[in-house]
Amino acid sequence: MSRGKFITLEGGEGAGKSTQTTLLANFLRNEGLDVVQTREVGGAPSAEVLRDVWLDKKEGYWDPITEIFLIMAARREHLVKTVFPALARGAWVVSDRFVDSTRAYQGIGLGLGLDKVDKSYDLIAPGFEPDLTLLLDLPVNVGLARMASRGGHDDRYQQKKSDFHEKLREAYLTLARKYDSRFRIIDASMGQSAVTAALENAVRERFRL
């Protein structure tokens, strides 16, 4: 049995990642593959406990370095309990966010530095990176307007000013250049079905489905 593939979806707020993760997982199931759909922060019962602990408090409650360790602790649980066993049995894993979120949000956006993020990641998963990372990229004003129209959903960084979100967008584009062999940039300002088609094409092309 060959190892499965690990695909991650990344992007700022309002890019439609959650919906597209579900659609992509269904697309792969229709290709006859064994698929595990998951998310971060979370993706295993023990990791979801840590998600609640982390997201329950307003920004500023946790020391920023503590925050990196909370996220990495949740990530280790996610990897050991969900991702690694699935890949070992040959399943394909599709995750809504992974370590590039920590690189973009904590490392660059919040200014802690990529070095701290990469060092702590090296403790939990040395050398492990996704096979493919799909970056849903869109102008900040479009993403924030979509979030506002959705209403009710109060995530950690949605209240931040648009310059934080600009920094985040640039951070992701920088990561896409740094890891250009595994990143594909998808224009997420298109309509939902066009974005879905672009994601499917990227996956087909990368894995020759």
d(CA 16, CA 143): 9
Of 40 and 77, nearer to ligand TMP (C-beta) is 40
d(CA 188, CA 133): 14
- Indicate if the alpha-carbon torsion angle 39, 44, 45, 48 is positive or negative: negative
Of 92 and 105, nearer to ligand TMP (C-beta) is 105
Instruction: Pick from 40, 94, 198, 203 the residue near ligand TMP by CB under 6 A.
Output: 40
Q: Token pair of 36, please?
A: 């595990």
Residue with tokens 């967008």: 169
Asked if 6 is part of the footprint of ligand TMP (rule: CB under 6 A), the reply reads no
* Phi-psi label, residue 42: left if phi above 0, alpha if psi -120 to 50, beta otherwise: left
Instruction: Pick from 38, 101, 120, 196 the residue near ligand TMP by CB under 6 A.
Output: 101
Shortest Å, Cβ 64 to ligand TMP: 11
Residues in 146-165 at the binding interface with ligand TMP, rule: CB under 6 A: 155-157
Interface contacts to ligand TMP, rule CB under 6 A: 40-41, 71, 97, 101-102, 105-106, 155-157
